[in-house]
Amino acid sequence: MLDTPTAPIAAFDLKALPPGFFEDPYPLYRALREQAPVHRLPDGGVLLTRHADCERVYKDAATFSSDKTREFGAKFGPSPLFTHHTTSLVFNDPPLHTQVRKPMMAALSPRAIAEMEPGLVTLVDRLIDAMQARGTVDLIEDFAAAIPVEIIGNLLGVPLADRGPLRDWSLAILGALEPAPSAEVLARGNAAVTAFADYLTGLVAERRAKPADPERDVLTRLILAEDGGRRLSEHELVQNCIFILNAGHETTTNLIGNGLELLARFADARARLLAKPELAKSAIEEMLRYESSNQLGNRVTTAPVRLGDIDLAPGTFVTLCIGAANRDPSVFPDPERFDIARQPNRHLAFGSGIHQCAGTTLARLEGRIAIMRLLERCPDYHLTEAPSRNPRVRFRGFARLPARVA
Ligand code: HEM
C-alpha cells in the first residue's frame, strides 16, 4: 500500500469522472482501495472502497443514517423528487423504515416468491420464442428489461394495460440519483414522480375498495399494515410503491444484461455452466459480485467516527463503493477472475444490515431463470456489436446488447 496517493487518485471526484471510467472503473477502484481506501471527495464527503469498511457502515445504522433529507434538499430543492426520495424506506431510518419494511418483507417471503416461478418461466420462454423468430435482437430491450417490469407489475397488481409507462418512469426517477444530474435529467425525474404518483393514487383507491389477498399482494399488505396502531399515510403508501417498482426494475434488468454479457465475454465460464447447470446459483452470485448492478450506496454520519485513518465529523456524507468492495482481495481471492463456482462469495451487491435489499429472493430467481433458460435454449447466442453502456456510475448496465440468437 502506498503512503501518498498518486495525483489521479488524490483528485478523484465522483462528479467529474475520467474518460473510459464507464467502460472499466475497476483499475481506478483498485487504486483507490490500495492508496486511499477512505477517500476525501472535493465536496467534503468520503468514498469507501474496502469491503470491511463498507460492511461496517452498513451494519451500524445508528452511526450511519440513511436519512438523506439534507442532501436531497440541496440536490433537488422542494420538488416531487425530493418528496419521493425522502419518503422511501431506503432513505429513512426507523421508525418509518421498519413500518414499511415489515409488511413488504412478509409479502416478499421466499414461499410467495417460489410460487411466482412457473409464471416467470412462461414469460421468459415467450420472450425467447419471439427472439428466436427474429434472430437479431437487443438482449436488453427484448429480454432483460421486459422481465422485471412484468414481475413487479404482478406483485403490485398493476393491470397489464397500464404497464407501458412504468419502465420510463422508473428510469427517469433513478437517473436523477446520479451524483451530478443535469437540469434536463431533474426535469424528467420530477415529471415521472408526478405522473407515477397520480397513477398509483388511483390504484390504491381501487385496492382499498377491493382488497386482494394480503398474503400475495404487496399493495394490500401495505394498505392494511399497522405498526403501534399507526397505518401508513396515503402519501407514504404511494411513494413507497413507486420505490418498490424502481428498486426491482433497473437493478434486475442489469443483473440479467450484465450476466449475459459476462457469459459472452468469458467463453470458458459459459461452457462450464452449460456442462454443469447445477452451478447456476453460484454463477448468479458471481455475476452480482463481478458486475454489481448497484455500484454505490450512501449514508450520513450521526456522530463523530473514525474510518481508516480519517476522522469524520457528524453530518459527513459517506459513499460506499460496492463495485470496489466486491473486488477486495482480502475477501475474494483472485478478485479480478470471473469464477462461477466461487465459494464463499460474501459480495455486497444487495447491501447489508437493516436496509439489505428486500428483493434478494426475487432478484436471484429472475436472474437464474432468465439467464439459464436463455443459455439452455440458445447456447450459441453471441453479441453482434460492441454493447453500449448506460453512462451511469450508480447503476451499472447496458443500454443495448445487440445479439444473434438461434
Ligand atoms: C439484482 C437486483 C437487485 C440489486 C442489485 C439490488 C440492490 C439493492 C441494494 C444494494 C439495496 C440497499 C440499499 C441501501 O442500503 O442503501 C437494496 C434495497 C432494496 N431493494 Fe433491492 N436490489 C435488487 C432487486 C430488488 C428487487 C427485485 C426488489 C423488489 C421487489 C428490491 C427491493 C428493494 C427494497 C424494498 C430495498 C430497500 C430495503 C430497505 O431499505 O430496508 N430490490 N437493493
Angle between helix axes 166-175 and 250-265 (nearest 10 degrees) is 90
- Using the atom order of ligand 1, give the atom closest to the CA of residue 254: 1
**For range 291-296, the mean pLDDT:** 98
Joined grid coordinates for residue 253: 434488468
| Residue 252 near residue 148, CB atoms below 8 Å | yes
**How remote is the CA of residue 123 from the centroid of ligand 1, in Å?**
23
* Distance, CA of 300 to CA of 60 (rounded, Å): 11
**How remote is the CA of residue 10 from the centroid of ligand 1, in Å?**
31
**For range 240-266, the mean pLDDT:** 95
**For range 143-172, the mean pLDDT:** 92
**For range 62-80, the mean pLDDT:** 96
pLDDT band at 115 (very low <50, low <70, confident <90, very high): confident
Q: How does the average pLDDT of the chain come out, rounded?
A: 94
- Range of lowest pLDDT (11-20, 37-46, 211-220, 335-344): 211-220
**pLDDT higher than threshold 90 for residue 322:** yes
**How remote is the CA of residue 132 from the centroid of ligand 1, in Å?**
32
pLDDT band at 256 (very low <50, low <70, confident <90, very high): very high
pLDDT band at 216 (very low <50, low <70, confident <90, very high): confident
Q: Where is 400: in which H helix or E strand?
A: strand 398-400
* Distance, CA of 382 to CA of 280 (rounded, Å): 19
| Residue 254 near residue 397, CB atoms below 8 Å | yes
**For range 257-275, the mean pLDDT:** 98
**pLDDT higher than threshold 70 for residue 347:** yes
pLDDT band at 2 (very low <50, low <70, confident <90, very high): very low
Give residue for cell 407515477: 196
Q: Quote the DSSP letter at residue 90.
A: G
Q: Where are the beta strands (DSSP E) in 249-350?
A: 296-301, 305-307, 310-312, 317-321
The pTM assigned to this predicted structure is 0.95
| Residue 227 near residue 95, CB atoms below 8 Å | yes
Joined grid coordinates for residue 377: 435454449
Atom 1 (ligand 1) nearest CA: 252
* pLDDT at site 229: 75
Ligand 1 in reach of 247 Cβ (< 6 A): yes
